[in-house]
Structures are given as structure tokens and as C-alpha cells.
Amino acid sequence: MTRPPDSALRRGYLLCHTCHQVSAAGAAHPQCPRCGAPLHARKPDSLTRTWALTLTAYILYIPANLLPVMTVTMSGQGEPDTIMSGVKELLLGGMWPLALLVFFASITVPVLKLLILTYLLISVQFRSQWRPRERTVLYRITESVGRWSMIDIFVIAILVALVKLGALATIDAGAGAVAFGGVVVTTMFAAMSFDPRLIWDAMEKQND
Amino acid sequence: MPAPTPPELVACHDCDLLSPLPHLSEGERARCPRCGSVLFERKGHSLDYSIALALTSLILFVLANVNTLMRMNIGGRVQSGAIISGISELYAQGFWMLAALVLVVTILAPLVKILAILYVLAPIRFHLRAPGAIRVFRLFETLHPWAMTEVYMLGILVAMVKLKDLASLEAGVALYSFAALILVMAATDSSLDDHEIWERLGHLRDKTA
């Protein structure tokens, strides 16, 4: 590299996150000339917001796994189900492909997502120079895969609707499901508020 | 005063690199030379194609929401459930936050998305811009990650497996409609070239201004 690559910020341009228009930075509160969305060189307070949302998700993750996500009552006998016991049940039923899928969506994805976001935040804060391209890919995967963790919430929504036969069999949602839904939503917002361009800003500063 | 737009430049969403605007043929995509993310692609489908798919989605969406998803038979007692009854049952059990969350991601977000496509695209076809089209299309872009139709379908599958030892299950009309809806919505999303829509909206405004 003889010359640092041109970033929009360095050249005084702003990219609209909504409609992808590039325009010259000028006004104090610039708006996109095409769609009117407020423009920012970088997502506002990206690190602070992402930290706050990620930490919130960590805290919610504890009750999400410890509290029952639902309680199945069969002929008077109530049995609380956690996320983990739901996966175990699928495994014992011999449905290992589905068990694997639910394990991946409900347990692996949220944990990995939190760890990756934490790593990205720390790497940006310490101005890491290590493999920016791979870190950007990691971010893209994190952003796109998070929604699949909602499966468990939907399973509960369907089960409570189908199984309400009074004394015979009932399924009630549990507080764990609320916490788990909270984890999915906060990590989605956390991924949205992180700005991957910060990874590259650190690289450019090094070149100056 | 809108700032002047630089001619022929694109910036990367993920790493901010400026590149000259690539001239793509239909079906090609341009990737950022520095970080590899897709800058944009020319999908090469006509507006009519996207509008037709969105209309089909709307019909399937209505069918999937007014009919029964599944009927369950436990010892002669039949219980049927629809998408909305899962939401109202969560609400009845006092879990209003969960009910609201499921309502937004399975019903409201997909519905508003479909309607937004129709509202913005149909007038463009006749070189017109609907009132508030720009705002509506911004809403469409925002809602994108929150419409979780396909995730819900997997949820249905998992729920069916969990119930199969307990009772005999019978699929309702809504289940088939829902399965079709996922395919058609995915086709709609992949046919829609949002860069092109934004360009057209911009040109139409220049004409009306």
C-alpha cells in the first residue's frame, strides 16, 4: 500500500444508511438529499449503545436459561421446561436433526452472538489491526443469523394455543420465555447499533 | 439546501471505502474491493414481477391468518389453533410483552412490508410517486430484519414434533398458505432491487420538484 485507501469520511462524503446515496458533508445536521434520512459519518454513539445493549443481553441471558420457558401440565402434573430441557426432550424423542437445529438456534447462536459482539467491541476499543476483513465478515454473520433464535418463542406461542384442554392438558408460558425474547431483541438491536466501519477507521489511523 | 452529490461514487456500508460506481449488467453484483461486502446488485427483474409477487404474498398472508393452522385431537377432544390464537393466548396468560413481540414479528412487520412494496412500486410503474412514498420505503427498509415469517415456519415444525406423541395432528389451510407465503415472500425480496427503487424515487422527485 503506497497510499491509504479513500474512505468516504476522509474525502468528506457521507453515506446514507437507508438509501445508499453518497453526498457531500456540509451542514451541521445533514439530511440525505434523496430520502431525507438524517446522515451520520458513523452510527451515533455506536460503541456506547452496543456495549449497553450487549451487557443487557448478558444479564437477561441468566434468567432466560434458569427460569422455565413453559410449564406443561398433564392430568394435574405440572412439568416446567427450560430451553435446555426442551432440546433434551427432542433428543430423547430420537429427533436429533431437529434437536440439533433447536440447540443451534436457541443456545449456540445467542451465546456466540454475545461473545462475537463483545470481541468486536473490545477489538475496536483497543484499535486492533488484526484481520479487519475477517472481523467484518464475523459482524455480517452475527447481524444476519440473530433472528433465528426466535424459534423457541414461536414454538411456545403455538403450543399454548393448541394445548389448553383444561384438566386434561395445558401449556402455560413461563417467565424464562420473556427473558429469552428480551435476549433475542436486545442482541438484534446491539448488532444494528454496531458500526463495522469503526474496525477500518483504526486501520486508517495507523496509515497516517 | 441539499448537499451536492458526487458523481459516480459509491461508499461501502461495512468499511466506508469509496469506489467508482460500477456499471453492472443485469444479474451482476458489485463487491467492495476492501472488505468483500456486496455494494449493490442489478437484479434485472421488472417492477411488474415484484408487484405480482407482492400481490400474491398479500393473498397468501390473508389466507394464512384467517384460517386454522393446525387441529389437534387428544382423546376425542379437538383443539384448533391459528397464528392469532397463539398471540391472544399468550396475552390471556398475562405475557403481554411476548404477545406483542410475536404479533409484531409474525403479523405486523410482514404485512406492512408487503403493503409498503405495493404502495411504492405500483405508482412508480406509471411514473408517479405516491404521497409519502419515500417515508414508506424507508419504513420498509427498517422493518426488513423484523419480519420473521420463515423462522415462524420452523417454529411450527418443532411444535408439531413436540406434540406428535401427545395427540394426532391435522394440518389446516393456514399451514399450507403459510408455507407458500414464505416461498413467495422470499422471491419478492430477492426480486426487489432497492437501489433501483431509490434511484427511481429520486428521479421522480426531481421531475415533480
Q: Do A154 and B195 touch (CB under 8 A)?
A: no
Choose between A32 and B146: higher pLDDT: B146
Chain A residue with Cα closest to B134:
A35
The pLDDT value recorded for residue A54 is 93
Using N-to-C axis directions, what is the helix angle for A175-193 and A109-125, rounded to 10°?
40
What is the distance of C-alpha A176 from the center of its chain? Answer: 18
Chain A residue with Cα closest to B20:
A6
Using N-to-C axis directions, what is the helix angle for A175-193 and A132-145, rounded to 10°?
140
What is the distance of C-alpha A58 from the center of its chain? Answer: 11
B83, amino acid identity: I
Query: Minimal CA–CA distance to A156: which of A178, A140, A173?
Result: A173
Which residues partner with A32 through β-bridges? Answer: none
Dist. CA B41–CA B43, nearest whole Å: 6
- Kindly list the residues from chain A whose CB atom is less than 8 angstroms away from the CB atom of residue B86: 157-158, 160-161
Question: Taking a C-beta distance cutoff of 8 angstroms, is the pair A20, B199 a contact?
Answer: no
Q: Chain B: nearest CA to A43, how far in angstroms? A: 11
Q: Indicate the pLDDT class of residue A6, thresholds 50, 70 and 90.
A: confident
Dist. CA B31–CA B26, nearest whole Å: 15
Which residues partner with B163 through β-bridges? Answer: none
Dist. CA B31–CA B45, nearest whole Å: 20
Chain A residue with Cα closest to B163:
A159
Q: Chain A: nearest CA to B159, how far in angstroms? A: 5
Q: What is the pLDDT along chain B (209 residues), one digit of tens a residue?
A: 344 455 577 888 888 888 877 777 777 788 888 888 888 787 777 788 889 999 999 999 999 988 888 888 777 777 888 888 889 888 988 888 999 999 999 999 999 999 999 998 888 888 888 788 888 988 998 898 899 988 998 888 888 887 777 778 888 888 899 999 999 998 998 888 888 888 888 877 665 54
Q: Chain B: nearest CA to A82, how far in angstroms? A: 14
- Kindly list the residues from chain A whose CB atom is less than 8 angstroms away from the CB atom of residue B35: 132-133, 136-137, 196, 200
A189, amino acid identity: F
Q: What is the CA radius of gyration of chain A?
A: 22
∠ CA B203-B206-B209, rounded to 5°: 150
Chain B residue with Cα closest to A154:
B155
Q: List, as ranges, residues 40-79 from B with C-beta within 8 Å of A.
A: 40, 69-70, 72, 74-75, 77, 79
The pLDDT value recorded for residue A166 is 62
Q: Do A6 and B159 touch (CB under 8 A)?
A: no
Tell which phi-psi region holds residue A182, choosing left (phi > 0), alpha (psi between -120 and 50) or beta: alpha
Query: Minimal CA–CA distance to A13: which of A21, A1, A5?
Result: A21
Question: Taking a C-beta distance cutoff of 8 angstroms, is the pair A71, A172 a contact?
Answer: yes
Residue A186 reports pLDDT greater than 90: yes
Q: Do B36 and A37 touch (CB under 8 A)?
A: no
Which residues partner with B17 through β-bridges? Answer: A7
Q: Do A162 and B105 touch (CB under 8 A)?
A: no
Q: Do B151 and A22 touch (CB under 8 A)?
A: no
Q: Indicate the pLDDT class of residue A163, thresholds 50, 70 and 90.
A: confident
Residue A125 reports pLDDT greater than 80: yes
Using alpha carbons, list the distances in angstroms from residue A182 to A119, A204, B42: 21, 36, 37
Chain B residue with Cα closest to A196:
B14
The pLDDT value recorded for residue A206 is 59
Provide the 8-state DSSP code for B197.
H
Q: Indicate the pLDDT class of residue A90, thresholds 50, 70 and 90.
A: confident
C-alpha cell at B149: 415469517
